[in-house]
Structure 1
Amino acid sequence: MDVGLIDCHCHLSAVEFCEDIEDVIMRAKEVGINSVISVTEEANDFERVIHLSKSYPGVVAPCLGIHPIQCWGSQEQRSVRLQDLDSALPLFQKYRDEIVAVGEIGLDFTPWYAPHAEHRDEQEAVFRRQLEISKALDLPVNVHSRSAAKVTIAVLKEEGIQQALLHNFAGKPSVAMEGVQAGYFFSFPPAVSRNEQRVKLIKQIPLEHICLETDSPALGPDKQARNEPQNITISCEYIARVKGITPKKVADVTTQNALRLFPKIHRTLKH
């Protein structure tokens, strides 16, 4: 079976997709995407992503997770607190059979979001709690690590995490290689094609540890325009160019990587 491309990290439940989700998914299929792994950021997003997975079975693969930054994009934007997990905990259990991973979870030590040690400590506590949930549910994790790459990988290793995707990774190549040695995967959105900052990183990470993502609706090829899963081909072509290989090779290997990392996708893919 040719399983096509897999977008390993996007936000289909975002408000930006409310009006035309059907068209967005149709355009994704037209470029060869068979599965879209849709993550959450807040507990009030959980039911919507589950609903999408039921509306588009075999296409939308849901993840549940609490992001290190809450109230994203609003005036109340802030670092996560332990109580943000309270309403999420029963939902992890309720939907344990439907979800393919725990995510988006992680650490964001950007100074204006986490200016003090207590912010970072609480983020880490929320992160570790969700890593425990992933182990209890035997699920991989879909991980955010902004200005916190080294700490994020260290925590994953300390917690004994075997299966992790570090999405939109921007840490040092030496830190990435620690993740590679631990068996982790890395993904890059279309925005990497806008500048050459990640060239060294993408060159150094073996293709066998790379997945494709869009992080839609953010991080597209045009900073001003809404990103969507169909732009996965831009990520694919960019990685191919940096590595000096064909886009088909990147597509084939990254899809196999995604199926290894997220084994429950096998169940959702339409034969």
Structure 2
Amino acid sequence: MKLIDTHSHIYSEAFNEDIAEAIQRAKDANVGQILLPNIDSESIEPMLNLVRDYPGYCLPMMGLHPTSVKENYQEELLICEKWLNEEGFIAIGEIGIDLYWDKTFLKEQQFVFEQQLNWAVEKELPVVIHARDSFSEIFEVLESFRLKSLQGVFHSFTGNLEQANKAIEMGFLLGLNGILTFKNSGLDRVVKEIGMKHLILETDSPYLAPIPKRGKRNESAYVAYVAEKLAEIHNLSLDEVAEATSRNAKKLFRI
């Protein structure tokens, strides 16, 4: 069973000089597919170009990232909606609420998040949720969707055990990346208490490179280090981790 990097911005400018080599390194590292979340209108073209260059291997999502919610959020939403109606996407993402950098547009972030959740329900697509310093605010919005068969993943999960169980109880998976390998993150203790059926792997490339690559540009090949750490935590073989997490990803994203 191959690994699946369920969250990678490998279409970003960080890979302008060596994208073909980065894709090959991912394949060499037993990565079977790379899932691409969108950020805003500026990232759509490079993302779709990569999808066209690697059909079936790189799979796109569509959404408006919370840190891109500014004064022009209505225009950005219309662009996302237009693309959703014209092309095939595997998920609505990356969406959510981010209060780490700036709280100025909290109300707008909440509105945009809810609007995109509605799209997901209408189109029967999973959602990929970005939650940074915002679990309470996100759970509050999600409460109104409990009866609407909404599914998805809390990507780059960094919450505590209570928040993990809350997300799972609401029908969501947890996305694990390089943070799991950081010695002082404490995430390993949380993940140890979570069953494998609730977990998927990601990189969030080019960010959050795992140990032993921390501080360098992250790339999809490095999802293997996250898999190795998860295998250590749950006392499983790497093949067992690949099988479980890839099965979870395939089911969620219908790939």
- 1:181 corresponds, among 169, 172, 181, to 169
Q: How big is the shift at 1:85? A: 4.3
TM-score under structure 2 length normalisation: 0.91
Determine whether 1:125 maps to 2:114. no
| Change beyond 3 A, Cα 1:144–1:124 | same
Moved over 4 A (4+): none
Q: How big is the shift at 1:161? A: 5.2
- 1:13 corresponds, among 11, 14, 22, to 11
- Where do 1:49-198 residues align within 5 Å? 49-70=47-68, 80-81=69-70, 83-96=72-85, 97-110=87-100, 112-114=101-103, 116=104, 119-159=105-145, 160=148, 162-196=150-184, 197-198=186-187
Mapped to 1, the partners of 2:182 and 2:196 lie a distance apart of: 21
Contact 1:42 1:67 in 2 (8 A): yes
Mapped to 1, the partners of 2:149 and 2:163 lie a distance apart of: 16
Q: How big is the shift at 1:141? A: 0.7
Q: Secondary structure at the match of 1:130?
A: helix
Q: Which moved more, 1:87-96 or 1:242-251?
A: 87-96
Q: How big is the shift at 1:237? A: 0.8
Q: How big is the shift at 1:98? A: 2.0
Deviation per CA, 1:206-226: give whole Å up to 9, x if none.
110100000000000234210
Aligned partner of 1:232 in structure 2 is: 223
> What letter matches 1:212 in structure 2?
L
- 2:205 corresponds, among 184, 207, 216, to 216
Determine whether 1:256 maps to 2:254. no
Q: How big is the shift at 1:192? A: 2.2
Mapped to 2, the partners of 1:9 and 1:55 lie a distance apart of: 18
| Pairs aligned (count) | 249
> What letter matches 2:153 in structure 1?
L
> What letter matches 2:83 in structure 1?
K
Mapped to 1, the partners of 2:25 and 2:72 lie a distance apart of: 38
| Change beyond 3 A, Cα 1:24–1:92 | farther
Q: Which runs of 5+ in 1 are unaligned?
A: 71-79, 266-271
Q: How big is the shift at 1:233? A: 0.7
> What letter matches 1:67 in structure 2?
H
TM-score under structure 1 length normalisation: 0.86
Q: How big is the shift at 1:90? A: 4.1
> What letter matches 1:84 in structure 2?
Y
Aligned partner of 2:27 in structure 1 is: 29
Percent identity reads 30
> What letter matches 1:205 in structure 2?
I
Q: Secondary structure at the match of 1:187?
A: strand
| Change beyond 3 A, Cα 1:207–1:53 | same
Q: How big is the shift at 1:200? A: 2.1
| Change beyond 3 A, Cα 1:83–1:113 | same
Mapped to 2, the partners of 1:20 and 1:68 lie a distance apart of: 28
Q: Which moved more, 1:16-25 or 1:160-169?
A: 160-169
